[in-house]
Amino acid sequence: MKKPATLIYGLEEMPPPFITISNGIQHVGLIAINLVFPLLVFRAAGTPLDLIGGLLSSGLVVLGIGTFLQAYRLGPIGSGYMCPSTFTATYLAPSLLAAKIGGLPLVFGMTLFSGVLEAAIAPLLNRLRAIFPPEISGLVILLIGMSIGTSGLRLVLAPGAEPLSGAEWLVAGATLVTMVGLNVWGVGTLRMLCALIGLVIGYIAAGFAGLFGTTFVAVHDADWIGFPIPAHLAWAFDATMIAPFAIASVAAALKAAGTIALCQRMNDADWVRPEMGSTTRGVLADGAATAVAGLMGAVGTNTSTPGVGLAAAIGVGSRPVAYAVAVLFVLLAFFPKLTALLAIMPRAVMVSALLFTATFIIINGIQVISSRLLDARRSMIIGFSMVAGISVDIFPSLSAAAPKMFMPVVGSPLVFGTVIALGLNLLFRIGVRRTVNLTLDQPEGAHQRIDDFFVRQGAAWGARPDVIKRAIFGVTQLVDAVDENCRKEGPMTVTASFDEFNLDIRLAYQGALLEFPEQRPSADDIRAGLEGMRRLAGFMLRRNADRIASERAGDRVVVHFHFDH
């Protein structure tokens, strides 16, 4: 592992105490806004105000434990990276559903189930990519983002909700404008903490507008200092809730794996591809944290991607910072007045916070979807399941008319959209040849044919564009070099074989063997003539592929390229 130049304090380094603590505070500030997720769920379950404060305190302790588990390598658990825990939108929709059906006991029980499930799938994660390709995880993220936005608006616009008063509109506006304004035009810390600052402004505005009403009594009555003990904990399980929570578990596992990969890349200048060891350990820790959340009366947690983004932006990725974050979370839990203040968050402030967080999740989903080459099959998978997901919300009568046993699937946009996507993905595999051939018999137009062949196949396979580009370069450069230096006669045949983890290409031609040297010929050798140029081609081809091999049989040469996918 080589520390990149952009990192001031690497993973194993100990920054000065002031930097460690102020960084820790920044991380806590960044994550604070996600406390709206448990808050929303507790309210949906009709939890009395005085209990919510205690539950939020307990939730803060959970975040501390999660952050610690992730950084400290305890047995097989924990990636060892500075990667803070946060409450996640991923579990919001299923948790709201559980709150409605079975109250808090069902939320906690199912959260525990989700955590155990996430930990269980951690070792299988790499294999899961084939069934759950990136365009589908992207779709899941997109649907999650939209469900956050709509669950925010539902607080104020749903048929049964009390319409927003003029004062509430103003408070909601002030909150949103602060968050958006600081995020778009702010710089440095102001920008990083835009959500937290927006919350503070929202609270102040709500205070002036008198929106707290009698609820402020809860803050007044709360102690300054007290133990974070959640009251009346109970757990319940409901089989119909398995589907929504299981999908959320898979989504959380994939997101955690992505965040850990981000940590790996941030801490290693030589990073090429995710290292599965620490990824598995990280997902295991993430699942464990969610299980702890279920036990301690909170909603599901996940690794904080913005947290890692913040660490990268300021160049501090040290493990001691993670410990500082963990300690700060636990410390905050000892101030009941603070959690009571959070518990009385006016809905006007909440709506803005939810809308604001939704935007980034939606864009993230779109980015993940478009990280793959999309052909007709994939476009239809995304399009159909997107419409299917949205229509659950638009036409509630459709799911209401469905048999009760299908409710867990058709009752939730997230679950219905995902199930449609997974089904179409399996269906559309029919007729996709995993191994394909191309014969290049004449030099004219060969480059265009190589391009077309790989772009078309790459899209049919759903291969990553960067890998396909490397394949195109490899084949084109080999054809060029062989044509110029080694070809005797006859066509060159290209055979490409793909599965989710490998792209193998075999090229056969009649002629001389091309050398793949480990050292680049010197600039003078390259300038001198054909020999240097040929060795340069071989050198670049070696570096372009993850593995290369060649062999000669008589005057027939076979070259293999292997690309990890």
The residue within the footprint of another protein, chosen from 439, 456, 488, 531 (CB under 8 A), is 439
Least distance to another protein from the beta carbon of 255, Å?
23
Say what the alpha-carbon torsion angle 89, 95, 97, 99 is, to the nearest 10 degrees. -140
Give 301's strand partners: 87
* Residue span 175-214 as binding mask against another protein, x where in contact by CB under 8 A, dash where not: ----------------------------------------
CB atoms closer than 10 angstroms to residue 307:
24
Give 510's strand partners: 489, 556
Instruction: Please give the Cα distance from 444 to 284 (Å, whole number).
Output: 54
Does 268 bind another protein (CB under 8 A)? Our answer is: no
- What element of type H or E holds 37? helix 36-44
Give 359 or 497: the residue with its C-beta nearer to another protein: 497
The residue within the footprint of another protein, chosen from 476, 487, 512, 513 (CB under 8 A), is 476
Cβ atoms of 14 and 321 within 8 Å: the answer is no
Give 166 or 518: the residue with its C-beta nearer to another protein: 518
Residues in 451-470 that interact with another protein by CB under 8 A: 469-470
The residue within the footprint of another protein, chosen from 495, 500, 509, 513 (CB under 8 A), is 495
Least distance to another protein from the beta carbon of 526, Å?
5
CA nearest neighbour of 398 among 389, 535, 264, 26: 389
Q: In terms of DSSP bridges, do strands 502-511 and 487-499 run parallel, antiparallel, or are they unpaired? A: antiparallel
CB atoms closer than 10 angstroms to residue 155:
18
Does 560 bind another protein (CB under 8 A)? Our answer is: yes
Phi, psi of 374 (to 5 degrees): -110, 120
Instruction: Please give the Cα distance from 191 to 180 (Å, whole number).
Output: 9
Give 132 or 498: the residue with its C-beta nearer to another protein: 498
Least distance to another protein from the beta carbon of 269, Å?
13
The residue within the footprint of another protein, chosen from 46, 484, 488, 531 (CB under 8 A), is 484
Sign of CA dihedral 211, 195, 64, 241: positive
CA nearest neighbour of 409 among 399, 395, 401, 423: 399
Least distance to another protein from the beta carbon of 261, Å?
16
The two most distant CA atoms of the chain are separated, in Å, by 91
Give 60 or 450: the residue with its C-beta nearer to another protein: 450
CA nearest neighbour of 37 among 57, 11, 17, 56: 56
The residue within the footprint of another protein, chosen from 164, 493, 512, 513 (CB under 8 A), is 493
Q: Helix, strand, or coil here: 508?
A: strand
Give 344's strand partners: none
CA nearest neighbour of 252 among 301, 315, 212, 187: 301
Give 272 or 398: the residue with its C-beta nearer to another protein: 272
- What element of type H or E holds 302? strand 301-303
Does 236 bind another protein (CB under 8 A)? Our answer is: no
438 burial via Cβ count (<10 Å: 0-12, 13-18, 19+): buried
Does 129 bind another protein (CB under 8 A)? Our answer is: no
Residues in 378-437 that interact with another protein by CB under 8 A: 434-435, 437
Least distance to another protein from the beta carbon of 472, Å?
8
- Eight-class DSSP state of 546: S
Candidates 89-97, 172-180, 361-369, 537-545 — which segment interacts with another protein by CB under 8 A? 537-545
The residue within the footprint of another protein, chosen from 13, 238, 480, 500 (CB under 8 A), is 480
The residue within the footprint of another protein, chosen from 483, 487, 500, 512 (CB under 8 A), is 483
CA distances from 208 to 170, 201, 204, 472 (A): 11, 11, 6, 63
* Residue span 507-536 as binding mask against another protein, x where in contact by CB under 8 A, dash where not: -x-x-----x-x-x--x--xx----xxx-x
Q: Which two tokens stand for residue 149?
A: 């936005």
Give 414 or 545: the residue with its C-beta nearer to another protein: 545
Least distance to another protein from the beta carbon of 197, Å?
33
Does 552 bind another protein (CB under 8 A)? Our answer is: yes
Does 449 bind another protein (CB under 8 A)? Our answer is: no
Least distance to another protein from the beta carbon of 536, Å?
4
The residue ranges that bind another protein (CB under 8 A) are 434-435, 437, 439, 447, 469-470, 472-473, 476-477, 480-481, 483-484, 493, 495, 497, 501-502, 504, 506, 508, 510, 516, 518, 520, 523, 526-527, 532-534, 536-537, 539-540, 542-556, 558, 560, 562, 564
